[in-house]
Structure 1
Amino acid sequence: MNVQRIINRVCGQFLITNIKTSVFSIRLKHTKNDLENHQTKIMGRGLPEKKPLPGVKSIILVASGKGGVGKTTTAVNLACAMKVIKPEKEIGLLDADVFGPSVPLMMNISGEPMLNDDHLIEPLLNYGVKCMSMGLLVSGENAVVWRGLMVMQALDRLTRHVAWGPLDCLVVDTPPGTGDTHLSLAQNLPIDGAIVVTTPQSAALQVTKRGVNMFEKLKVPIIGLVENMSHAMCPKCGTKNFIFGNETKKTADEMGLEIIESFEVDSNMSECINSGKPAIYALPDSIHAEKYRQLANKVFKYIANKDNKQAKAKEQ
């Protein structure tokens, strides 16, 4: 006998009709804002406490809504540029893309990391940057086929079970989209800011908006947009050809964001990626290398300004 028949026997069909009507009336009294506030409170109950990584002063995320826009290239060259312009600073690079790690290729690192006396994974070092990636823990020929919980456990290993410190800044290369990885990082770590990478195509810009909205909901400050493949230069006359469109500035204005750096199409970048030598080292005199140095300076300035604001807030 189902539940409806039992209720009908005990209460009678008339009473059931009245109950249904009352419930419907109550629901009508709740506005959309009431429901959203209620959901926010429920979600807030189970959120973990944000704990800093031992010895890591600042954490910067590099993200993109859409894949294939040069996000990892940006993260790799940003980390290396930060080390180049300020050699005294300790810089780290975390590849948080569990399913498609490509930092080992771009940073020319390989081999299984070692454990130290504290049973923490020692990150591999190249170009003066401390690196860690799932690609170092899993054979390149094997596919990572995991469910959400296993991904979260892997992220915990890559963050809290790695001997990162001392670091002045940890650059985190995140996977495309707006998934579990971003949510887990934002809820567990004190993120200082995020750089969102895009290309001028309408499809990329549309997904970029979703990424920006995600960070706003997670209360992660957005440093700005990085535009890749903005245009191609004609080798003969030097004319700019906007082969993928020119809508990034409009989209940035709509979102109230700044394009902090814009990169043109350059075939030499593919060679840098394949050779495992970032453009900041392979092409130090190129326009790309100069722009990556400018981007690194802007990130350092952003971190310094945020540190100053936090220091003044503590004094008050």
Structure 2
Amino acid sequence: MSDDRSHPPYAASAAVSAPPPIPPRTPPPVRDRTRLAIALMCAVSLIFAFQDVFSRILGGGYPPVLVVMIRYWVFAVFVIALVARQPGGLKRAIRTKRPLTQIARGVILALEVTLMVEAFVQLGLIETHAVFSVYPLLVAALSGPVLGESVGWRRWTAIVIGFTGILVILNPGGGVVSMAALLPFAAALMFALYGLLTRHVSRDDPAMVSFFWTGISGAVAMTLIGIWDWQWLAPVDWIWMACLCACGMSSHYLMIRSYELAEASALQPFAYTQLVWVSFLGVWLFDETLRSNVVIGAAIVVAASLFTLWRQRKTSA
């Protein structure tokens, strides 16, 4: 008698009774949250605009170093509370491989904020931000000598065009350029240097470490400078100060969240919406004049800056 298991019918029945193969599990699709990040960045720009309004109100009645010092005190408390909730807590945040550079970053940013408050008082919101919008071009120009990065002829052309826009804003042919116009440009230069140093320390320190050192070193530096101008604020001005600090904390938190959801190169163009908001608020609240040369010059600077960011993103890719 032959073995029935050798016949095809048995083989067929065995195949039918065998369990079906388990298909491989596919990972869940990755959600693109760029739209949410863009919405958060637009909200950050709006909050920054109101933050500048409160800074101008307070800067008109008190020394800017005093305003920035109190703001940094609250900011330092916020940084400590936020960092303490992260893995490793404060012990991890304190450990940095580049302490001197981290301290320099925090001091530079604190001084930049002080210059901006002074510029708001002397120039107004609109012209201050129109000149300050040149900072991405300064980042591109300084990335070579500071970080050793290569800057091609296209980006250098955009930098030259952007500085032409600054000349249109300042309108030197219409009279003597005031020294106050140098305040936002110096602030933009300092902010560009701060950004480059941030990229430099990011090679060794995580973002939360840099965030911690930014708040603490800035608070210490402003205390050493501003404590000599201490005076009690009027009761109503404490309300403005509370609004300023609330804007500072909420804007930084939302900005951190937005950068967690999308790349900085995708979000940076939407940060320029702050220029639109401050122009509206400057005209509405402070009766500032939106001069045609400021609009044209700011458009040239923003366009050149966006092109520079696009070239940097394309080169990195």
Same fold (TM over 0.5): no
Q: Which structure: larger Rg?
A: 2
So what's the TM-score if we normalise by structure 1? 0.23
So what's the TM-score if we normalise by structure 2? 0.23
Question: More helix per residue: 1 or 2?
Answer: 2
Question: More strand per residue: 1 or 2?
Answer: 1
Higher relative CO (CA 8 A, sep ≥ 6), structure 1 or 2?
2
